[in-house]
Structure 1
Amino acid sequence: MANKFGLGSLPLESKNPMSSTAFINKAKPFFVDQIGDTLQGDIDMNNFKITNLKFPGNDNDAVNKKYLLDQINAIQIDKDHVENRINDVKKYFRRNIKNLVNEPKLQQELTSLKRLIQVDKTSELISKLDDKITKVKIDVQRLIDNPNVNEDRLKRKLAALERKLGELLAELDKTADKTELQNSISNLNEKIAKQKSDVQDIINTLPIDKDTLKRQLTALDTKITDELEKEVGVIIF
């Protein structure tokens, strides 16, 4: 009985079935006639199957080579598609990132925070300056109360006070937001005037024979006043 492959009375099932390769070679003329190709010799099934690598001896796990390559190419196409979509998303965010952030509001918040920090820093520096002025008065009063003070020791003391004053002025000069210091200018002017008056009162109480001490105190008063006035002038202008 002929079968649909045109192989005559060859049964598809028999007690002694031929091998897959022999069967395909037997049916080859029919398939070639259907696709309009020419014969290129015997068909070797090993050229058309890729055996499962995990079980290389099991022919049932073999996969058609063309099918496998098509699947690999399909996966590669999907991968390229995903990469293109990722790039599209990146471009979208780069174009629209400014719309996601309220820049004016953010800048306003940063400016407010900066001013708050500068005000706190300025208040701290003014407080330190008050402490130093108070310490100067105490040190000068101790010098007056001790008539046997050593002149070299006095010079070292005055130099140390001048150095501390310089450090405070340097810190004050580092204040970035100088507009916030305008409210403190009048207070500084009052402190300068009061400090100058207090030092002058102390100088006036010195005995006549303390000329060296008087000159040192006068020089300190002048230096403190000049430095503070210069710093205030820089802030204003």
Structure 2
Amino acid sequence: MTENEDIKRRMVWHTDVVVKQLLSYAIGCVMGRYSLDRKGLILANQGDGPEQYHALVPGSRFEPDDDGLLPLMPSDTDFSDNATTVVKRWLAVAFGEDTLVDNLNCVEAALGKSLDDYFVKDFWKDHKKMYQNRPIYWLFSSKKGAFQCLAYMHRMNAYTAERIRTKYLLPHIEWLVQRQTEMEANAANLNARERKQLDSITRQIAECREYHDRLHTVADEQIAFDLDDGVVVNYGKFGDVLMKLK
């Protein structure tokens, strides 16, 4: 047996690893770190935003997120820029609308779970591991994950925490309260599954409100940082409103 034949015999193709790398790249495109239309890093300097992106990638096929903030929430929540939603949009642009369903099926088969479940439960853990506990996407999260939002550190500024609070957390609490009110109005007709769902919503509201109080305090501090100080130092400035690194 030749050396090349031996290598081929021993090579193992881990489809789940490849798909996770693809999704990481997709999130990079969403955040503006990468582009389908230009090689290399795009937005990778502190304070970079849409203006710098469009200067480097005129006529981009896929428009990155306007502020580098991305909810990691189930698709049934009231966010049009939820991770699952925007990655589906990216897949359609990258590989074609006509193959979107087949590609989604392929991705979810490789992951062994829905795209929703992966982004809500596993994406940030994989990202943190990939970057050896020095993540470039920081996860603002309540204690049990009832609210989660990614922030691309190169696009963060002193007002990022406040923007997350007002653009995502407060509307999410309002959405949960509306669902709670609607279900309670029909309490007599709820089946067992729906009653469990109502209990879950009630717990999520309490968790999100508790997180809001902590995030509001941090937002009022208008924390600024210098990326040259490193991830660990800057990440630590936000205290317990960010998911722990270890």
- Compute the TM-score of the two structures, normalised by the length of structure 1: 0.24
Higher helix residue share: 1
Q: Of the two, which has the highest radius of gyration?
A: 1
Q: Compare relative contact order (CA 8 Å, sep 6+) and give the higher one, 1 or 2.
A: 2
